[in-house]
Structure 1
Amino acid sequence: MRTRHRILACATAVLIGSAGALTTPSAAQAANLLSNPGFESGTLSDWSCSGGTGSVVSSPVHGGTKALAGAASAADNARCAQTVSVQPGTEYTLSAWVRGNYVYLGVDGGASTWTASASDWKQLTVSFTTGASQRTAEVYLHGWYGQGTYHADDVSLDGPGGGDDAEAPTAPTSPRVTGTSATSVSLAWNASTDNVGVTGYDVYRDGVLATSVTGTTATVSGLTPSTDYRFTVRAKDRAGNASPDSQAVTATTDEKGDDTRFIQAAPYLYLGWGNPPSATEVMNATGIKWYTMAFILAQNGCNPAWDSQRPLTGGVDESTIKAIRAAGGDIVPSIGGWSGNKLGPNCATPEALAGAYQKVIDAYDLKAIDVDIENTDEFENPVVQDRILGALKIVKENNPGLRTILTFPTLNTGPNSWGNRLVERSHALGADIDNFTIMPFNFGGGADMYGSTVNATEGLKGKLMSVFGWTEAQAYAHIGISGMNNSSDTGEITTPRIWTQIRDWANSHHIGRLAFWSVNRDRPDWEFTSITAGFTG
């Protein structure tokens, strides 16, 4: 990759070959000055699009999990722009990956470039020099009138930022590959330091910007199976200074094959509480495809009903499910929960309980069911635990292809004694559970929610490996995380930044499921839902 260095009084940090020896870094390299350059926030944060024509989508993407869609019409070219601080009389390079007809990239009042047709991702690049007194620059993308929607991703403005801060962050250390698939590579590295503060990291694939992230993990997607790739990482600060490159790390993508793993990003949607939002509007705004719909309980004995009162068919629940499916999504019902009159204690035998589950499966032709097993009536009751496992085994045998999920509480170190029993008995009874989803929250106020979630998941992984004899990768593939957005019941705080870290960790370790409680609470911008939509397993 061609790199422009700034000439400063202090020494320049140098990365030496594959050995990665570093002198003390202090000089600033060129950086990507744009905020939210890959739209990974799930919003148009820091971008302004004309006439409400811009949106963030989860497909197609060039890198990461999100991209910009600009809906050009006969009356609007869908111009999306961002203004940044720059230095006078300085050369900059602007680039972006685009798809569509007549897509333009440029700087207001300066140079621009365009493509007449890009059926697949194509990189546009243009260089310009700022004026003698210029302190800001507005960069833009737009389509053309009547030419339809264009897509853009991984936009980069390469050069020194404005302001007085000229000290670069230190280079990221210990870059490493944490996972591969046929089309993606997951990476992690140790954090950089800076005199003011590190604001993000740019990940380069074979010398070309692949994605930008705020944390110390990233997944680069859209790759070719059985192919070698080389990755480096740079840290950047608010002034636009960039660190030297990290050591290079190489990875080979897996061979192409059928991915039979069960992958599900499915936040909770509860139609019986909390001013439930329009499921399809949230799908359009965030790219989410699955919902975990709550809660199916018992009505008049061993009969399933939504919240013990709404029928399976003919009501708002069924109409919502139909709308979700018409929009290209699907649902998994949450059977049980913390409170209410549950099926597990009310159905006397595994066979009777399986019959209740079957009514739910048949009502919606389900691909998966989730039993949320909590509290003393189910989770801390060995008879009911075994009854639920026996029922899930029966419906799995009677419904080929059905996926089964168990959701249950956890300690911050992994399953408690009841959780350990649930895992052990699922193996002993041959229940063939596809996913064990833990709920890593309510540990106590002030908990480190990222660290506690990771520790709890690692504890479950160890238990699954021990009980089932699985490899580490097999255990991760059978694990789910169901968090709680914002404040938990005990006052723990999970911010969008922390949830993004959890999501990225879950992607890099290829777990099977990600959920949170709940979409009803994710207002006004559906931030957590957008982040969850970026879960790829």
Structure 2
Amino acid sequence: MKRHALKAAAAAVTVVAALGSATAHAATPHAATALPSGVAAPYLYLGWGSPPSATSVMSATGIQQFTMAFILSDGTCKPAWDGSRPLTGGTDQQTISAIRAAGGDVTVSFGGWSGNKLGESCSSASKLAAAYQKVIDAYGLKSIDIDIESTEFESATVRQRVVDALKTIRNNNSGLKIYVTFGTTTTGPDSNGQDLIKRGAAKGLNLDAWAVMPFDYDEGAIDMAAATKSAMNGLKNDVAAAYGLSSDAAYRKVGFSSMNGITDSDGETITLADFKSMLGYAKSHHLARVSFWSVNRDRPCGSGSDADSCSGISQGTYDFTKALAGYTG
């Protein structure tokens, strides 16, 4: 999905606003939030899109958690924010510290559409697992999101490597919540997504949620709430079949990450009413994770705004985040 295209040149001038009041410090124990980690955690991206102050968003909306994006490869099998900013000691850690100081927490997301992916840069599952573990340990994480897209998603070899690495992470981090996120069709995962789920089941990989991104369908102006529900039903069916679960149990092992406002696909728009309908569906089936891309875009556009910093639709500031804050699984 083009929503994840990185704009490294803009990163240096846009990260400062997202820091909140805390200064950088080493990861320390912190109080648990009211919800299991990552259940309702919209994406916050410091690389572009005029990132808002995370703590201000928390105060304005009641949201407690964010999905921080993205951890990428620095060109080798070493993790770095956007592949270029330091893993610790920089603006990303300052933001995480500020969120935690305000009583919240984060899910760290690996991958996205653009940039060098760890799944491709690491030559073995053991090396990939070590790269994931380095980030988990650096921040004392309670949840991670593997956002597998583009060439990382399209390669059967890399899909297996990711599954094998996550099996190691699961074995070594029993309390960690693990989410895997990827694209979808309107009727559910495509062949790559179905293969990824089957490989996970064959490996005995017990994820907290298989999640899809139900947008960028390239089908023009369609009913996005209905398309999301259809995609989720397809995902549920694939997970149920692969893992031998009932429909109810499978729903509790899936989730979605939507997009707010005008998406990257021509004619495609997700309104606040659409998103609230999606949330109603999620509540009725007790989905394991709901998110959206992104907090950066959760505001109306002003003069000079671009698609990375506003939704392109008529809305109030942080309307989508406020709606998501009420989701408890």
TM-score range, shorter chain: 0.7 to 0.9
Q: Report whether the alignment pairs 1:469 with 2:261.
A: no
Name the CA shift for 1:461/1:262 in 2 (closer, same or farther; >3 Å).
Answer: farther
Residues 441-461 of structure 1 show CA distances to partners (whole Å, capped at 9, x for unaligned) of 011220210100000000111
Query: Aligned residue for 2:159?
Result: 385
One-letter code of the match for 1:314? G
One-letter code of the match for 1:468? Y
Structural mapping, 1:126-205, within 5 Å: none
Structural mapping, 1:258-269, within 5 Å: 264-269=39-44
One-letter code of the match for 1:412? T
Which of residues 346, 351, 369 is equivalent to 2:121?
346
Residues 497-534 of structure 1 show CA distances to partners (whole Å, capped at 9, x for unaligned) of 11111111111111011111100001151001111111
Q: Report whether the alignment pairs 1:273 with 2:48.
A: yes
Q: Please tell me whether the aligned partners of residues 261 and 512 of structure 1 are also in contact (alpha carbons under 8 angstroms).
A: no
Q: Please tell me whether the aligned partners of residues 262 and 434 of structure 1 are also in contact (alpha carbons under 8 angstroms).
A: no
Secondary structure of the equivalent of 2:103?
coil
Structure 2, unpaired ranges of 5+: 1-33, 301-316
Structural mapping, 1:195-344, within 5 Å: 264-344=39-119
Q: Report whether the alignment pairs 1:520 with 2:296.
A: yes
**For 2:35 and 2:52, how far apart are their aligned partners in 1?**
32
Structural mapping, 1:403-442, within 5 Å: 403-442=177-216
Secondary structure of the equivalent of 2:210?
strand
**For 1:531 and 1:262, how far apart are their aligned partners in 2?**
18
Query: Aligned residue for 1:500?
Result: 276
Secondary structure of the equivalent of 2:144?
strand
Residues 60-118 of structure 1 show CA distances to partners (whole Å, capped at 9, x for unaligned) of xxxxxxxxxxxxxxxxxxxxxxxxxxxxxxxxxxxxxxxxxxxxxxxxxxxxxxxxxxx
Q: Please tell me whether the aligned partners of residues 35 and 328 of structure 2 are also in contact (alpha carbons under 8 angstroms).
A: no
**For 2:239 and 2:203, how far apart are their aligned partners in 1?**
15
Secondary structure of the equivalent of 2:146?
strand
Structure 1, unpaired ranges of 5+: 1-258
Query: Aligned residue for 1:359?
Result: 134
- Cα RMSD (Å): 1.5
Q: Report whether the alignment pairs 1:534 with 2:326.
A: yes
Name the CA shift for 1:270/1:261 in 2 (closer, same or farther; >3 Å).
Answer: closer
**For 2:113 and 2:59, how far apart are their aligned partners in 1?**
30
**For 2:130 and 2:57, how far apart are their aligned partners in 1?**
33
Q: Which protein has greater RCO, CA pairs closer than 8 Å, 6+ apart?
A: 2
One-letter code of the match for 2:323? I
Query: Aligned residue for 1:398?
Result: 172
Query: Aligned residue for 2:311?
Result: none
**For 1:453 and 1:414, how far apart are their aligned partners in 2?**
9
**For 1:267 and 1:473, how far apart are their aligned partners in 2?**
25
Q: How far has the Cα of 1:261 moved from its partner?
A: 7.6
Per residue, is there more helix in 1 or in 2? 2
Q: Please tell me whether the aligned partners of residues 212 and 255 of structure 2 are also in contact (alpha carbons under 8 angstroms).
A: yes
Residues 199-230 of structure 1 show CA distances to partners (whole Å, capped at 9, x for unaligned) of xxxxxxxxxxxxxxxxxxxxxxxxxxxxxxxx
TM-score, normalization: structure 1?
Answer: 0.51
Q: Please tell me whether the aligned partners of residues 37 and 105 of structure 2 are also in contact (alpha carbons under 8 angstroms).
A: no
Q: Please tell me whether the aligned partners of residues 261 and 477 of structure 1 are also in contact (alpha carbons under 8 angstroms).
A: no
Structural mapping, 1:20-99, within 5 Å: none
One-letter code of the match for 2:138? A
Query: Aligned residue for 2:262?
Result: 487
Q: How far has the Cα of 1:300 moved from its partner?
A: 3.5
**For 2:36 and 2:189, how far apart are their aligned partners in 1?**
23
Name the CA shift for 1:339/1:317 in 2 (closer, same or farther; >3 Å).
Answer: same
Secondary structure of the equivalent of 1:530?
helix
TM-score, normalization: structure 2?
Answer: 0.82
Q: How far has the Cα of 1:432 moved from its partner?
A: 1.7
Q: Return the index of the structure with the highest Cα Rg.
A: 1
Secondary structure of the equivalent of 2:70?
strand
Secondary structure of the equivalent of 1:264?
coil
